[in-house]
Chains A and B, each alone.
Chain A
């Protein structure tokens, strides 16, 4: 009954959700990735410890969650007390005053070791030295491959593969076993979908979205080369129906043994190394993100939790945040589900646990290195006016990225040519670039 009341008032946009007594109801908007689903299941423990706090989860897939959370926070809707956002949103929203500064809360919580977060990630969710959201898991990207298939086919993964080598391997392994594609790469439109791996590749190809004066460079030869490479690779040796598959789809395919390689977020390990959700557990090797012209080719992303400035239960919300991102939470997950399921890549201490090293031997080290190496201010070969690796940390990117990703996705589907896609994208990018060029000139 209390839940129903909370849902109703949540929909009505009322922030204060109290069900009589002294119970405070929190409305938590969360992305429904596997690790977050675990957190929802485990939250019964939180309730036992804090009977005066009621938790109401709104759990949605990435694209939907982002639309809902952004709309709510940007309009001051105030229906959420806790929101799951990423390093893309955190800094911008902190600047606008949309988020509660978490630093005072952190400093007031003695056992909460925030120095333990991986430095590159901690910095990426900080604004003017204060943390405005706390990382739940962090990720870079690497290349997972099926060691058993590689052995059967008599091919080997280089220690630091280049994209050309990966393309050759994909050709070799495509259809080596029936129904197994050479590689799985996202093709679904969305700035958080196809553009994530593509931008990582773009950077290492030496391409960039804008030069230092905000002149769009999507029609440059480097951008063109990266796009041609990506589209050709997915079309020739990628998964069938590539234009419609995002992270979740590729994750399932690879976990079900239907792709020989999978270049994507390091957070994939929680699923593909879990016996309950896949058939390839223990068969995987991990190589660093492939490169062309840069030394590393990964990205940096984190799903983190923040408190909108409009929340009326900030202290209770922090209590929940503290529980979900604390060291103890990692152990709770390990006890309940095993060490392969812990949220990866946020706390350094996790990597020191012997049990974790045991189950994560194959990937812990490449993951930590990839996250630490990622440099969001200098992602490619040439200077850029924006921050971010697999996204551009500007507010317009949600729109621009979505439009460009649609073009790219259409090219992957074979509806238009890469040149057409890039010509159209260049126009979109020019419009955005002009506003920044004007601001710079003022």
Chain B
């Protein structure tokens, strides 16, 4: 077939499909080794998700073996009318947004300070990075028993001159307690990113600004901050992705309580599955959360990329 074709057509025309074929072969040669990984990823992520969808259409309380039945979308209806689920969703947004914003502001501040030269800078930088390297579980235990404990806690000891010596952080202000621990953990991450941004800044521009007689504040707002923008956006994006999934801190520090005051979505779903043993409803919640996350992430990514482009155009 191919020999007949090459005889009939001109040689130039014959090379085109051959080139295409060899390109395709090269493509496969490149992709081939990746196939096992792709298949593996699909198996371990998509099959469980399909199973979750199936479970979400069934009524199944693990502790009542006779309770299995198809219920259609009833589980989803229950999820959307569950006040605690909505509360947990709100908490998730609140905790993620506040943690990322506060950690970023502190991170910028620390990065600006660490960008200067001073004696022992390396030691200070290592110390500041440490919280991010500690296991989240250890972080939560540390805050629960050493910092926030009402009687022996260091925080109350420090604040006692101001008359808040016996405040019960974890039960009176659960969300704030969780936030404090999270911000403590995430500030170093933000600081590292911003610091990288600061150190990649071109000295010429700053010098030019100084020659033009700009004040420090003006230089920061009009030169440094626009330069840092993409680093900040990256930090916010990565931070949000991780903080949304926070589980350890809430599990250990507050157990989602008191009541369900500090439960976020991952914790609430865990509770519905492993304390309530309601497989159908927790599967439905999982599906709703995945869909919600995809929508929010898509919007956020688009927004961030748009600002990225604007900054680039503005800069150039």
Name A's B-contacting residues (CB within 8 A): 63, 67, 70-71, 74-75, 92, 96, 179, 188-190, 240-244, 395-396, 398-399, 402-403, 406-407, 409-416, 421
Q: Please, how many angstroms separate the alpha-carbon atoms of A403 and B171 in the complex? A: 17
The CA-CA distance from A415 to B172 in the complex, in Å, is 7
B245 to chain A, nearest CB (A): 20
Q: Is the CB of B62 within 8 A of A71?
A: yes
Query: A399, B254: Cβ atoms under 8 Å?
Result: no
A398 to B260, CA, bound (A): 16
A395 to B65, CA, bound (A): 10
- Nearest B residue (CB) for A63: B275
Q: Compute how far the CA of A147 lies from the CA of B256 in the bound complex, rounded to whole angstroms.
A: 37
B contact residues around A395 at 8 Å (CB): 61, 63-64
Residues in chain B near residue A416, CB distance under 8 A: 259
| A340 to B150 alpha-carbon distance, docked (Å) | 32
Chain B residues whose C-beta falls within 8 Å of the C-beta of A403 in the assembled complex = 276
Chain B residue numbers with a CB within 8 Å of A396 are: 61, 63-64
For the complex, give the distance between the alpha carbons of A406 and B268 in Å. Answer: 12
Q: B91 CB to closest chain A CB, in angstroms?
A: 13
- Residue pair B259, A244 in contact (C-beta under 8 Å): no
Cβ A241 vs Cβ B150 within 8 A: yes
State A67–B62 Cα separation when bound (angstroms).
11
Are A189 and B257 neighbours in the complex by a CB distance under 8 Å? yes
Contacting pair A413 B171 (CB below 8 A): yes
Known: A67-B274, A413-B257. 11 other contacts (CB 8 A): A71-B62, A189-B258, A241-B149, A243-B258, A395-B61, A395-B63, A398-B275, A409-B258, A412-B171, A413-B174, A413-B259
Give the CA-CA distance A411 to B171 in the complex, in Å.
Answer: 10
Chain A proximity of B306: nearest CB distance (Å): 41
A75: B residues at CB distance < 8 A: 62
Flag if A402 contacts B275 (CB, 8 Å): yes
CB contact list, B247-266 vs A, under 8 A: 254-261
Q: In the complex, what residue of chain B is closest to A89 when comparing beta carbons? A: B63
Q: Which residue of A lies closest to B251 (CB)?
A: A64
> Across the interface, do A410 and B258 meet the contact criterion of CB distance under 8 Å?
yes
In the bound complex, do residue A244 and residue B257 qualify as a contact, i.e. CB atoms below 8 Å apart?
yes
Q: Please report the C-alpha to C-alpha distance between residue A71 and residue B61 in the assembled complex, in whole angstroms.
A: 11
A407 to B260, CA, bound (A): 8
**B151 close to A240 (CB less than 8 A):** yes
What chain B residues lie within 8 Å of A179 (beta carbons)? Answer: 151
Chain A interface, >50% SS class: helix
Complex partner residue of B271 from A241, A402, A410, A412, CB under 8 angstroms? A402
* Contact A243 B277, CB 8 Å, known A398-B63, A406-B260, A412-B258: no
How many Å lie between the Cα of A242 and that of B261 in the bound state?
16
Q: Measured between alpha carbons, how far is A188 from B277 in the docked complex, in Å?
A: 20
Q: Closest approach, in angstroms, between the C-beta of B130 and any C-beta of chain A? A: 27
How far is the CB of A198 from the nearest CB of chain B, in Å?
A: 15
Across the interface, A70 reaches (CB within 8 A) one of B62, B150, B170, B260, namely: B62
CB pair A244 B276 closer than 8 Å:
no
Cβ-defined partner of A406 (8 Å) among B63, B170, B257, B278: B257
Instruction: Write 24 A-B pairs (CB below 8 A) sorted by A numbering.
Output: A71-B277, A74-B62, A74-B63, A75-B62, A96-B65, A189-B256, A189-B258, A190-B275, A240-B150, A241-B151, A241-B170, A241-B171, A398-B63, A398-B276, A399-B276, A403-B276, A407-B259, A409-B258, A410-B259, A411-B259, A413-B171, A414-B171, A415-B171, A415-B259
Q: A74-B63, A179-B151 are in contact. Are A67 and B275 (CB under 8 A)?
A: yes
A117 to chain B, nearest CB (A): 26
Q: Are A410 and B255 in contact, CB atoms less than 8 angstroms apart? A: no
A190: B residues at CB distance < 8 A: 255, 275
Task: Give the distance to chain B from A256, nearest Cβ to Cβ, in Å.
Answer: 11
